[in-house]
Amino acid sequence: MSARTWTAVDDYIVSSLFDADAALDAVLAANRAQGLPAIDVSAAQGKLLSLLVRIGGAKKVLEIGTLGGYSTIWMARGLPADGKVVTLELDPHHAKVARSNFERAGVSDKVDLRIGPALQSLAELSRENTGPFDLIFIDADKPNNPNYLTWAMRLSRPGTVIVCDNVIRDGAVVKKDSGDANVEGARAAFALIGGEKRLDGTAIQTVGAKGYDGFAIAIVD
């Protein structure tokens, strides 16, 4: 099966199950116009994140890796009126584009965007006692996955859901010595989730408009 089929099926999923969403289309268009890489989650994945927020009744969401805020907006839309997404981004240009996208999508009041290395922002959140978060989405620099998972656990409570994106990497995750830091980051996420008694998790392989990849999902016991 080809990437063309995967994309066609993703289009079918979206056109069959969601209302057309001009605001989200405009967000993606702005991201591309501003030179951001096309590494946002797909629409189907964004909707899944939004549903996870709703299914878990989440009010406090943490995202590590904002880019132009496409996934942030999906999650913000799943929140109740008094809910909040804290999203962490290193690159000031990405953050600037994200802020204008939050305005465009009408979710600015639900988003707290922090600019800087995520490890610093996470320490800041811990000092501020901002947690515990109900759902944490990890989607930044992959070599830091184990550090982000460790922080996610510190900022969690029993029942917190943790989702970690891009852990399959075209199947390269099975290679022990790939020499690829992103693959090593994915493998480290598996090792941490599998080895940590407080985490109960799985991973799902996915194909779609974004190719062959997948996400890990875990609940904190």
Q: Where along the sequence are the contacts to ligand SAM (CB under 6 A)?
A: 39-41, 65-67, 70-71, 88-91, 94, 117-118, 139-141
Phi, psi of 200 (to 5 degrees): -120, 110
Least separation in angstroms between residue 119's CB and ligand SAM is 7
Residue pair 153/130 in contact by the 8 Å Cβ criterion: no
The token pair at 47 is 């909707």
Distance CA 186, CA 7 (A): 24
Distance CA 217, CA 200 (A): 8
Least separation in angstroms between residue 220's CB and ligand SAM is 21
Q: Which of 63, 66, 62, 79 is nearest to 31 (CA)?
A: 66
Task: Identify which of residues 40 and 134 has a Cβ nearer to ligand SAM in the complex.
Answer: 40
Least separation in angstroms between residue 8's CB and ligand SAM is 21
Torsion of CA 123, 92, 94, 119, to 10 degrees: -20
Task: Identify which of residues 70 and 215 has a Cβ nearer to ligand SAM in the complex.
Answer: 70
Task: Identify which of residues 119 and 219 has a Cβ nearer to ligand SAM in the complex.
Answer: 119
Least separation in angstroms between residue 106's CB and ligand SAM is 17
Task: Identify which of residues 123 and 197 has a Cβ nearer to ligand SAM in the complex.
Answer: 123
Q: Is 196 exposed, middle or buried (0-12, 13-18, 19+ CB in 10 A)?
A: middle
Task: Identify which of residues 60 and 94 has a Cβ nearer to ligand SAM in the complex.
Answer: 94
3-class secondary-structure state, position 171: helix
Please report which helix (H) or strand (E) contains residue 154, including its range. helix 145-154
Task: Identify which of residues 26 and 200 has a Cβ nearer to ligand SAM in the complex.
Answer: 26
Least separation in angstroms between residue 68's CB and ligand SAM is 6
Least separation in angstroms between residue 181's CB and ligand SAM is 12
3-class secondary-structure state, position 34: coil
Residue 200: Cβ within 10 Å count: 12
